[in-house]
Amino acid sequence: MTDRVALVTGASSGIGEATARRLHDAGFTTYAVARRVDRMGALADTGITTFAMDVTDDASMTAGIERIVGERGRIDVLVNNAGYGSYGAVENVPIDEARRQFEVNVFGLARLIQLVTPHMRERRSGRIINISSVGGKYYEPLGAWYHATKFAVEGFSDSLRLELAPYGIQVVIVEPGPIRTEWNTLARDGLVESSAGTAYEQQAEGVRARMESGDRPALSSGPEVVAKAIVKAARARRPRTRYPVGRGATSIVTARRLLPDRALDAVISRLYS
């Protein structure tokens, strides 16, 4: 495994940081990238190569891929983990913020795939692991823009899987449930800020409280659980197409598949009231 090269985006904290560590421990030559390179010092101390990459900046992504290929001659595994959650009523969230949500969660992911695919296709080997969410299967009030990006990642990845299969490139979707990371705190803070003084302020309080409950260990998992699944997907000879992972993830995916829309609407409305 020592000659296999992996790139992990969004590696300055949470799932990305844990994944970079586990891939390195599994023998991958690991590159960890994020905008906040100063927060990756502990990863660099373990022998992981870290540098700055902004998935909304094409020049940054292009230079990063060229650097890795120039140094190692290949990229075997791309873990598209960079992303965030923008919450608030569709009526209130500025359209520029909605565009940024898609730029980070969808278009940055897609652009990196465009950049690594020629190298993988030439070798007729490679694995692209897109970090989606159970939020790509179900929905929440005041979460339309975030869920739209994750639904997009799901459909994008399914089409991509068929598109790249003839060239030996495998595409995997990882669908975390509630995970205890700073993502949750930032999403809640954004929700409160965008809803303050609006018609949705009271509804936002119910959503915020429900999101906050996701920080409790009884209702969520740590990022290591997701990292473990990602490394499993990276190493498997024939990986699954999807990995729902974390406390409650399989139940949420199953409920979405089995319950009619109106029934699921009623369940979600009660949970977030």
Enumerate the active-site residues.
Answer: 132, 146, 150
Token code pair at residue 174: 């990882």
Residue type, 273: S
Burial of 262 (0-12, 13-18, 19+ CB in 10 A): exposed
Classified as helix, coil or strand, 173 is strand
Q: How many CA atoms within 13 Å lie on the side-chain side of 167? A: 17
Helix (H) or strand (E) holding 230: helix 223-235
Would residue 246 be called left, alpha or beta, if left means φ above 0 and alpha means ψ between -120 and 50 degrees? left
CA distances for 261 relative to 114, 133, 142, 152, angstroms:
35, 19, 17, 19
Please give the radius of gyration of the chain, using alpha carbons only, rounded to the nearest integer.
18
- Residue (of 57, 199, 68) closest to 126 by Cα position: 68
HSE-up of residue 79 (Cα within 13 Å, Cβ side):
35
Which pair of tokens denotes residue 14?
């949470």
